[in-house]
Amino acid sequence: MLVLTRRPGESIVVGSNIVVTVIEIKGGQVRIGIDAPREVDVYREEIYEQVRQENLRAVANADEIRKRVQNQAQQEPDD
């Protein structure tokens, strides 16, 4: 991983058209501004990672889920 030191107000350029700017550092948090082309998706990493992990889990469990949604009446009769 490339590690760079930046002060508030300073930026990093990624490729030809993405600029990441450190806006403010306060109380252990960093505010970051991102200038990127509209077609570039920018996500908080943990949110994207949640969806990614959940997709893999959904695929791994597809057979089990299919059985459950198809046989619900037989598997869990009303009592």
Partner 1 sequence: MDEAEQETLVEKALHFPDGLPGLPDQEHFVIVELREDGAFQQLQSLDNIDVSMIVCVPWMFFPDYAPVLSDIEQAELGLESADDAILFVPVSFDSESRQVFLNLLGPFVVNAKTKVGRQLVLTGTDYSTRTPIELPVS
The site for partner 1 (CB under 8 A) is made up of 38-39, 41, 43-44, 47-48, 50-59, 61-62, 64-66, 68-70, 72-73, 76, 78
Minimum gap (Å) between residue 32 Cβ and partner 1: 15
- The residues facing 31 across adjacent strands are 24
Residue 36 C-beta-side C-alpha neighbours within 13 Å = 13
Count of CB atoms within 10 A of residue 2's CB? 4
Count of CB atoms within 10 A of residue 34's CB? 11
Minimum gap (Å) between residue 11 Cβ and partner 1: 22
- Measured from the CB atom, the residue of 4 and 43 that comes closer to partner 1 is 43
